[in-house]
Amino acid sequence: MREKTSIQDDGATAWLTGFSAGGGARYLQIVGRIEQAIADGALVPGDRLPPQRRIAALLGVDLTTVTRALTEARRRHLIDARGALGTFVAAPRVELAQRVDLSMNVPPPPDGVDFDDLMRRGVSQVLLRADASLLMTYQLGGGSHSDRAAGVMWLAPMLGAVEPDRLMVCPGAQSALAALILAQTQPGEAILTEPLAYPGVRLAAEQLGRSVIAVDVDADGMRPDALEQACRDRAEGPRARLVYLNPTTQNPTTWTMPESRRHEIVAAAARNDLLIVEDDPYWLLTPDAPPPLARIAPDRVCYVSTMSKCLSPGLRTAFVVLPESVAEEAVLAALRAFALMSAPLTTAVTTQWIHDGAAETLLGGIRREAAARQTIARQLLSSVGQAPPSGIHLWYTLPSYWTSQALANAARAEELRVTPSEAFEVGSQRANAIRISLGGAADRLLLASGLRRLADLLARRPDGIREIVV
């Protein structure tokens, strides 16, 4: 047990750093400092925190702010109050029994943002401004005028000015992708993708009777010459009409296609009369991201931007921008085959949050939390590949003694879930890696616990793992 440090020593208060501009409510920033210090090992179970008045003095805030912060920290089981003895860092709550999901790409809980309060205020504002009965009945597909206006605002950093009549609102990216496949291709035709691609595209294509063909890549992403060769290879049979790309923080590899390659791909698509579907969920989480393909060639690209990866999956809202050559009614007709409309209430909350700035506040909190989690991952895992500092997943190439499926199975036995590379593979090319998603863990402590167990597992050879027979 480590020797307790006096609260007068600098080491006991080094974690009490100042506040970040735009970092959200100060009491939540204090909670975040405590959580980060525990995750980093600066505070360990049993350490005593300074008295509330000293924390307030060190940070230059009133006592009420500190009291509120410590109350929230206790609610999150970060600390224990022991009356006159003081407040101590809590022991982990049955840490070894906790399952950590590193398989689902979801945004992490936002740092410095009271999400519960944000949600209550958002729904309250919606109910003040809308007829509740209209939120519980059928709506026209594609979104209302205010929904589309919100989409135009949200997409401005990516695409610049967008005409509202070119934008439609869909109940999530998966349904939007399926509708585009159904509307723009015929059974038997091919969809061209990279060799590692979002599994939802392959699933939708297979269910709709379309094939998915892998196009070779290099260090910059899909190769333009390989794209053109794939089109020539299909000349004698059902042709390829669509190219599916996720060029910014690609899922799963995290690689971002440079701008020069984007121009080359657009040119190759134009020469072969291909329509590009650009799935772009991570652009707002990728600093210095190049312009989307849709900004380079708005007449050639269907652009899909979901809120599920940058704000919350529960919003079930995606914005789709169509080129003039694609009729909105055709896409809406395809969408109605499996999703009649977006849920009016959650769409209304999305619209309200964008218009009143809450969405931008939430996005800022998610960026900060994602950056903190990336730091934790890089401290605990060796050989982590390239990823943006606020990305929500990692691509981890495995040592030769592990296969991705064997590692995923072994992780499950350790109460961990990761996604093996087989889930993303298209065609015959094989990878040996796992995708590690950082947002699913409820907090940084649970994430750190899971990553430590994963690091230990990666360091062991499979023949060192034995089944327990009873």
Q: What is the pLDDT of residues 455-466, one digit of tens each?
A: 999 999 887 665
The two three-digit tokens of residue 198, written as one number: 């979002």
| Cβ-contact 252, 435 below 8 angstroms | yes
User: What whole-number distance in Å separates Cα of residue 340 and Cα of residue 140?
Assistant: 9
pLDDT of residue 469: 44
CA-based end-to-end distance of the chain: 35
Number of H helices, E strands in the chain: 15, 16
Q: How long is the chain?
A: 470
What is the average pLDDT across 65-86?
Answer: 89
Please report, to the nearest 10 degrees, the dihedral formed by the alpha carbons of residues 210, 215, 221, 223 taken in order.
Answer: -130
Helix (H) or strand (E) holding 8: none
Please report, to the nearest 10 degrees, the dihedral formed by the alpha carbons of residues 40, 43, 46, 48 taken in order.
Answer: -160
Q: Read off the pLDDT of residues 305-353 as tens digits, 9 standing for 90 and up.
A: 999 999 999 999 999 999 999 999 999 999 999 888 888 999 999 999 9
The two three-digit tokens of residue 37, written as one number: 């210090």
Cβ-in-10-Å burial (0-12, 13-18, 19+) of 144 comes to middle
Residue 97 has pLDDT above 50, yes or no: no
User: Domains, the chain, ranges and CATH?
Assistant: 1-95 (1.10.10.10), 131-356 (3.40.640.10), 359-459 (3.90.1150.10)
The share of the chain scoring above pLDDT 90, in percent, equals: 74
In 3-state terms, what secondary structure has residue 418? Answer: coil
Of the pLDDT bands very low, low, confident and very high (cuts 50, 70, 90), residue 10 is very low
pLDDT of residue 1: 39
Peptide bond into 50 cis (omega under 30): no
95 vs 32, higher pLDDT: 32
143: nearest Cα among 176, 98, 94, 119: 176
Q: DSSP state, 116? A: H
Of the pLDDT bands very low, low, confident and very high (cuts 50, 70, 90), residue 468 is very low
Residue 2 has pLDDT above 60, yes or no: no
The sign of the CA dihedral 322, 328, 332, 333 is: negative
Q: What value does the mean pLDDT of the chain take?
A: 91
In 3-state terms, what secondary structure has residue 50? Answer: coil
Residue 386 has pLDDT above 90, yes or no: no
What is the average pLDDT across 78-101?
Answer: 79
pTM recorded for the entire structure: 0.83
Q: Read off the pLDDT of residues 108-161 as tens digits, 9 standing for 90 and up.
A: 999 999 999 999 999 999 999 888 888 888 887 899 999 999 999 999 999 999
Of the pLDDT bands very low, low, confident and very high (cuts 50, 70, 90), residue 366 is very high
Nearby residues of 254 by Cβ (< 8 Å), 6 or more positions away: 385, 386, 387, 388, 391, 393, 394, 395
What is the average pLDDT across 177-202?
Answer: 96
What is the average pLDDT across 261-288?
Answer: 97
pLDDT of residue 8: 40
Which residue stretches of 83-114 are H helix?
none
